[in-house]
Structure 1
Amino acid sequence: MRAPSFHSDPHVQFLSQLLEEVSVGHLQVPRFQRPLVWKWEQRRELLRSIRDGIPIGSIMVWRTARVAIDCYEYLGPHRLSSPPDGTTHQYLLDGVQRLSTLYGALRPVSSDKTITENDEDLQADALGELNDESAKVENFQVFFDTLTRDFFNGVDDDVTPSMIPLHLVFDSIALLQFQRKFVGDGLEEAVKVSDEIARAFRDYKIPIIPITTDDVDMATRTFQRINSQGTHMSEAHMVHALTWSDSFNLNQKITEVRNGILAGLGWAGLDGDPILKACKAAFGLDVYKTNAQELSDVLKSRPDVVMEVGEALGRAAKFLNKVCRVPTPELVPYSLQIVLLTEAFRHCPVPDAAREEILYAWLWMTTYGELFAGMSGDQVQVALNDMREMLDSCRPVWTWRRPFEERPLNKSFDFRGARAKAFAFRLAAAQDGLKGDRKGTEILVDAGRRGLVHMLPWSREKRSMYSNPANRFLVQPAEAASLRENVVSGNLSPEQCEMHLVSLEALGYLQTGQYERFIEIRAANIAVLEREFVQPLVRKFAP
C-alpha cells in the first residue's frame, strides 16, 4: 500500500496529489468540520486564484497514531474511501472549505460512487446540513469558459459550447477528446485557453503543515486558534466527532434539545458549551478540567444523559423566565449559572416553593456578589456540591466562596458584566411594575445592550459623567431620540420619571442643567433600589 505523501515536516505538494490523498482515504475530514459553508462566489474566487497563480494558503493536517474519530463519508457529491488498515490517522484541521471546493469541482463524478436516494442523511452531512441553494450537489459541477476565462456552476449558469467541465484538467486524454468538440473561428484560441487552464491546475502546489500529536486537547486548541476568524469550533464539535456512531449523533441530540425543548421558551439560540458543561456536571466530572476524550468515553456509555440534561435545562429556563424574569440565555448574568441551575433541576426536577425561593435568592446573590468571577474548576465543583446539598436539605449552603458582599457597580458600564446586567434588570423592573406587564424586560429581550441608551451628551471634560451607568436609560432604540430630547431639556412627565427612576430631586438638577449632580443623585437612588432588592434575600438566605 502506497504511503501518504506528507510527513512530519512542512512541505509543498501538487494539488492533484493532495486530492488523490483525500480520494484514497489517507486524508480524512473529521465530523467536527463542516464540509460546505462557502457560497458559490467564495468558491469561484478560490478557483480564480489558482487560475492566476495566486497562493491560497496552507493546508493543516493533524496526524495521530492513537486517536480515531469519525469522519465524513462524502465530500460534496463524492463518496470517499476508508483509510487503509494500519495507517496513521490524518485529519484535515484547516482548509476544509478550500478542499471541499477543489475536490468537488476537480474530481469527475462518474469516477466515484455518487450519492444515491438512500444516502440522504450522509448527503446532508456532506453538504454541511445547509438548506439553501449553496447546498445543491449540482453546485459542485464547475465549468471554465474559454471565451470569458472565468468559472461558472451547473445551477445558476447556462452551459455553452465554449465551456469545459473543470474536472477534465487532470485527465489529458479526456481533455483532448473534449477539445475536438470545439468548432468555429475561435477553435485554435479555445484549445489554447483550455490547455492554459489545465496547466495552471496541474502545476499548482499547496503548502502542507502536519501537526503530529496524540493529544486531543492540543488538536482542539490548534483548530480553535487557526479558525478564530473563520468557522468557530467549540469543544462540542470535537466531542461530536469522538462519540458519533450510527446510533448516536451529539449534534442531532443538541438540535433536538434546542428545537424540541428550548425553542418554545426563547432559548433556541443557546450555545452548545453550557449544555456540554451541564452534561459533565451530571456525570460528576469537572466542568473545566474534563477534556473532550474523557467526556466522550462516558457519553458513549450513557448517551441518554444529553436528553436528560436537555429536559432539566428546559425546567431551568422556565424557572428563570417565570420566577426570576430572566427570559433568555443572553440575559443570564453568568453562563455558569445556567450550568448549575440545569444540574439543580436535574437533581431536583420539581422543587417546591421553598426550594424555588432558595434558587431565586441564589441567582441574585451570586450575581450581585459577582461570585462566579474568575472561578476555577475546583470552585465550580464545590458550588455544584453545595447546590445539591442545598436542594436536599432545603437550606442555604455557601461553602464555595467568600461571604456574601454586594459588589459596587463599575463606574464604566459594560453590559457583558454580571453586575451590569443586574443593574439593567432593576431598570426593567421599574417599567415592568407600572402596569403589571413586562415592558422593560421585553426591551431587554428585543434590544439587549442597544436598549441601554446614553441620554446626556458626551463631552471631553465630562467623560466620566457620560460613561456612568446612571446615564443609561432603558428604552426601545427607535424611541431613544425623543426621550433624549426630553431628558436634556428636563421636560420629563411624571410617568417618565417613574419609568426611568428619576426622582424629583434629580429632575430639579436636570431642569437647571446641573447634569453631574443629576447623574450623582440618580446613581444613588438606583443604588438604594438595588440594596432594597438584595438585602432581604441576604437576611433570609445568607448562612
Structure 2
Amino acid sequence: MNSNIQDNTLTRRPEARGFRVEQLLQEASDGKLRVPAFQRPLRWKSKSVIDFFDSVRRGFPVGELLLSRDHAKAATVSFGPVAIESKEQPSALWVVDGQQRVTALVATLLRKEETPRGDFWSIWFDLHSQEFMFLQKREAPPTWIPLNVLSDSVRQLKWIRNWSFSETRDDLVDRALELGKSIREYEIPAYIVEGASESVLRMIFTRVNTGGVDMRESEIFEALYGDEGDKPIRSAVARLCDLGFGQLDEDLFLRCLRVTCGLSRRETIDASTDLPPDSISRTETAFRRAINCITLSAGIPHWKLLPYRLPLIALTAFYDTFPNDDPRIDRLAAKWIWRGALTGDHEDVTDARVNRLVKQMRESKNPYDAVISLLSHFNNNDLLALQKNDPLREIDEKISLNRASGKIFVLGMLANCPNRQTGPIQSSLFDDVEDETTGEESATLDTKRFYRSLTDEGNLGSDCVIRISGMEKREFMSSDEQTLSSFLLNRECIEHLSNDEIEDFRNTRRSILERYLQRFVADRLGDRVDVRPSITSIKAVQ
C-alpha cells in the first residue's frame, strides 16, 4: 500500500453512538467539547438557530455529528457568546462536523443571562403560540420562556416558581415542562473517530461538507434492512396508494414504524439492531386502518389536506394495539382528529408528545377507554373559544395549504359534496393530483389542483371553489341552483360575476360561507360524544 494512503487511513472504525442534548451540554461545561482551528466561521443567523430548535422540539432528524477523540490543552473555548475555561483534557471531543448545531445548543442553552437578547442565540419560546422567537431589544412578553433555563430541570423549575403564570396557567406550565424535557432528552447521532491526524480530519471534514446530498432516514433504513436491493418501505408506501390517499412520505412511514414497534430513531438506523420480522407488514396494516378512519370517518380524502400529521402517527399505533373493526371507534377517533385540528393541539408532533399519547393508549383496557382518554384532553366548554384554525379567517385571505386553517377551509367546501349539473362526480376529485412530494419539498404544495378561483383577482377564500377536472368557469354561469349550492354559490353570486362586480360577488359569497362554515365547525367539534361501547364489543368481551 502506498505510504501516503497508509498515513491518511483510520486505524480503527469510527464509534457510532447517540448523545442526548443534556449530555452534550455537560461535555461542553466540563471543557471536553472543542472546536478545531480548521473549522469554518459561524454562518447561522437567528432564523437558522430557531429552525434547528424547532426541529429538535418536533423530533425531526437534524443530522449526525462527527467527533474526534484526542488530547486538548487548557484553553478558553468559545461557543458564540459563551466562553468556557477548560482544563487540559486527555480525551476531549473535537467537533469535526456539526459546529453550527453544537454552537446553537451551547450558546443558547448555557448562557447565564436572565434575559438573553440581542444576538443570534437569544432564543425564547412563546408558550401561548408555541413558536420559537428571537428577542432583540424589547422586553419579553409574559408567555415567553428563555431557552437557557431549559438546560437542566432544576433551573427550569426555579424559573417556573418565579413565573407570573405558575399558579394560574397549568396548561402553560405543562407545556414548558414538556418543552424542556423534549429538548434535553433529544438524541443526536454521532460518529467518533480516534487517533486521526489533523490532515485526516481535514480530509474527512472536506468530504463530509462537499460530498453531496445527505441520505434521508428511510434511505438509511432500506440500505440496512433491505434484502438484496429490496426497498421494504418504498414497496409498502406504493401498496398504500390503492387507498386513494396519495403518495405518502417514506420518512413518515418509518416514523410510524418506530412508534408502532416501540423503537427509537437510533435503533432503526443501527445495523446491529434486530427489527421485529413483521415490522413492515404490521405497520402497513395499522397504517391502512388509520387512513381509512381519516378518509371515511373524518372526511379527509387526501394526505395533503390533513391539517397535522399527528393523527396519522398516533392512530397507526392505536389500530396496531386495537385492530378490531368498529365504526363507533372510528367516529370517536374522527372527533379527536377534528378537535385537534381546529384547536391547533395536534401541531405538536414531537417524539415526547407522540410517545406520551401512545403510552396513554396502550395502558387502556380497551379501544373505547383509549379513544376517550384522547378526547378527554379537550374541554367541551372551551372548544369554540380555542379555535386556532378557524376556517372563517380564510374567507378574506389568500388560501394557503401550508396553513392548517387553509386545509380546513378546503375540507369544509369538500364536505358540501360539490357536483356538476350532469350528475354526481363518479371518480375521485383528486384522480389527477400529482404526487411528487419527497422529503422537505413536500411543504410546498400545488394548491391549484385542489381548488380554483372564479375571479381574476387572486385566491381569496371568497373567490374559490373546489376544482373539478374539466369544469370551466363558464359552466358555473349556466348551472342550476342545486349545482351552485353544492359549490356554496347562488344565482346572485353568478350575476355579480357576470357583470364583473367582484366586491358585490365577494360580499354575497362571504355571507354564504360564514353561515355554512359555522355549521361545519360546530358539527366537527361536536358538543357531546357518545362513549357507550357497541353491542358487538360487549359480546366480544363476554
After TM superposition, the score normalised by the length of structure 2 is 0.50
- Greater Rg by CA: 1
Higher helix share: 1
